[in-house]
Structure 1
Amino acid sequence: MDFLERLKEFLENLDTFADHIAVGVLSDGNSIAFRPIPAQPPIKYLDGRKSLSYGFQVLVRHSDQLKAIQTTESISQTLDDLPKGAIKSENNSFAFLFCSISTPTNYVEQDSSGWVYTALFSANLSII
């Protein structure tokens, strides 16, 4: 399933301060990252179809605390408003149904590189 790669592409095309979005951990300095988080196992239907709730976390670090909050909020609103099919599989392994905010923007820490904020999401996918 290529959802992780397609999500990365989608996030990198958003209008943010970051030129690149990391998968896993934040880079040094002002940066944005996302990573998969635990979620429910797939639901299997009698006709063989599967439905998956794909959990992921978005992390934003910026030297300006307000910029970190605003960027996290902007990403959250964009993901929460995505219509069905907004993220497309290149290998037809999933169909994007919708994305919802599991945990809204919240403070993580302040480190030597700036302020870190996060939000958690659940993307609902039909596994093809």
Structure 2
Amino acid sequence: MSQVDLDLDVRVADYISANVKLFDTLTLGNDYAPGMSLSYTLQPAGPAIRYYNGRRRRSFAFAITAKHPYNLVCINTLNAIMNTMENATPALIKSTNNSFKFVSAKMTTSHEFIATVQDDDGQDAQKYGVYQGAFSVQVII
């Protein structure tokens, strides 16, 4: 397989967006923009296992951050994302450029409270709860 850009982050985000009722658009990066937000970050997790044919089994960690004025919305959304990812199969998450073959996903940390934030310094400014959950994805690249 020639070197192509890994489209794992986009395919996983598309799968989540299509299968979970999200309160905002899921975006790549740590997004602490004003208002409600849902964001994710992706990074390699652990060493790769190399096969004789040159392919590698690799794990990637996804951290999903939810920011909403109602903490329970964050918690329920993160739980729905984790359940959806743990039920994902190779037939449901596919690379569009053949850069990976999805194997499995599992939750690595349950939702956890990160902070309470306020968008501005005004006395009537909206406060938001920020929660984060994480899962890992195994793929063959």
Give the structure-2-normalised TM-score: 0.82
Tell me the residue number matched to 2:137. Answer: 123
**1:57-76 → structure 2 map (5 Å cutoff):** 57-76=63-82
Runs of 5+ consecutive residues of structure 1 not aligned to the other structure: none
What's the counterpart of residue 22 of structure 1? 27
The structure with more radius of gyration: 2
2:62 touches 2:134 (CA, 8 Å); kept in 1?
Answer: yes
Partner Cα distance (1:92, 1:61) in 2: 33
SS in structure 2 of the partner of residue 37 of structure 1: strand
Please show how residues 43-122 of structure 1 align to structure 2 within 5 Å: 43-112=49-118, 113-122=127-136
Higher deviation after alignment, 40-49 or 60-69: 40-49
Q: RMSD between aligned alpha carbons? A: 1.4
Distance apart, 1:17 and its partner CA: 1.1
- Where in structure 2 are there 5+ consecutive unaligned residues? 1-5, 119-126
For the Cα contact (< 8 Å) 1:50–1:126, is it kept in 2?
yes
1:10 to 7, 15, 24: 15
% identical equivalent positions? 28
Alpha-carbon offset, residue 90 of structure 1: 0.5
- Where has structure 1 moved over 3 Å in runs of 4 or more? none
- Asked if 1 retains the 8 angstrom alpha-carbon contact of 2:44 and 2:59, the reply is no
1:87–1:96 contact (8 Å) kept in structure 2: yes
Q: Is residue 36 from structure 1 mapped to residue 49 from structure 2 by the alignment?
A: no
Q: C-alpha separation between the residues in 2 aligned to 1:37 and 1:44? A: 18
Output the TM-score relative to the length of structure 1.
0.90
Find the residue that maps to 1:69 and give its secondary structure.
Answer: helix
- Answer whether contact 1:69 1:117 (CA < 8 A) is retained: yes
